[in-house]
């Protein structure tokens, strides 16, 4: 049975204008840590999220990951590879994302806060002790028991 978190039936007419969009979340790995920042001024404000953003028309997920991490942190990622996929519905914001998680390595460099209107700051977080609250796409990924450190590529 098809279910929807939105009040209207998702099969009704008029939903073409509010189809899900593709988000790219980037799991930037260094040692046994990932890079997270606390979101601000958007859905998930106050929640810890990896860098990432919207897949642009004609762009590959891997290139989007490289671009978003550069734009948001100044870091250059390496060996970008596809990780998990989540279906993320934000009923109160009327947003629906399908998020592709890209795993990437980043052996060097200090993250800079290049979009301070969108993030409070970047922190390397131990995968075994992630901060809370986590942004919904990352929560959903963890529910799948996904582990970027044990995923082969
Ligand atoms: P922008 O384009 O503002 O960076 O988008 P976003 O950070 O709201 O995109 C969210 C994608 C997630 C999974 C990091
Ligand atoms: Mg972003």
151 assigned to some structural domain: no
Residue 37 within a domain: yes
Probe target for ligand 1 pocket from 34, 35, 54, 61, with the most ligand atoms within 8 Å of CB: 54
Residue 1 C-alpha to ligand 2 middle, in angstroms? 33
Domain count, the chain: 1
Does a structural domain hold residue 30? yes
CA distance 66 to 80: 8
Q: Report yes or no on 95 lying in a domain.
A: yes
pLDDT at 3: 56
Q: Are 134 and 140 in contact (CB under 8 A)?
A: no
The pLDDT mean for the chain works out to 93
Answer yes or no: is the C-beta of 86 below 6 A from any ligand 1 atom: no
Flag whether 3 is in a domain. Answer: no
User: Any idea of the CA torsion for 82, 86, 92, 93, to the nearest 10 degrees?
Assistant: 20
Q: Is 53 in the pocket of ligand 1 (CB under 6 A)?
A: yes
SS3 2: coil
* Contact status, residue 24 vs residue 104, Cβ threshold 8 Å: no
Give per-residue pLDDT as tens, 104-114: 999 999 999 99
12 belongs to a structural domain: no
Rg, Å, the chain Cα set: 16
* Residue 149 placed within a domain: no
CATH number for the domain spanning 129: value is: 3.90.79.10
- Ligand 1 atom closest to 51 (CA): 14
Q: Is 77 within the bounds of a domain?
A: yes
Ligand 2 center from residue 59 Cα (angstroms)? 16
Q: Give the tens place of pLDDT for each residue, 90-103.
A: 999 999 999 999 99
Please give the average pLDDT of every successive group of 10 residues along the chain, which has 153 residues: 54 70 98 97 97 98 98 98 98 97 98 98 97 98 97 77
Residue range of the domain that includes 88: 19-143
């Amino acid at each position: 049975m098809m279910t929807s978190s939105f009040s209207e039936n998702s099969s009704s007419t008029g939903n073409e204008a509010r189809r899900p969009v593709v988000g790219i979340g980037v799991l930037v790995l260094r040692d046994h840590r990932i890079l997270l920042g606390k979101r601000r001024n958007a859905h998930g404000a106050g929640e810890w999220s990896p860098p990432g953003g919207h897949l642009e028309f004609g762009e590959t997920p891997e290139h989007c990951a490289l671009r978003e991490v550069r734009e948001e942190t100044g870091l250059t990622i390496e060996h970008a590879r596809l990780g998990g996929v989540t279906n993320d519905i934000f009923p109160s914001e009327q947003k629906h994302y399908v998020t592709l998680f890209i795993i990437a390595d980043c052996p060097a460099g200090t993250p800079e806060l290049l979009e301070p209107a969108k993030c409070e700051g970047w922190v390397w977080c131990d995968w075994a002790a992630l901060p809370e609250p986590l942004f919904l796409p990352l929560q959903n990924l963890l529910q799948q028991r996904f582990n970027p450190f044990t995923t082969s590529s």
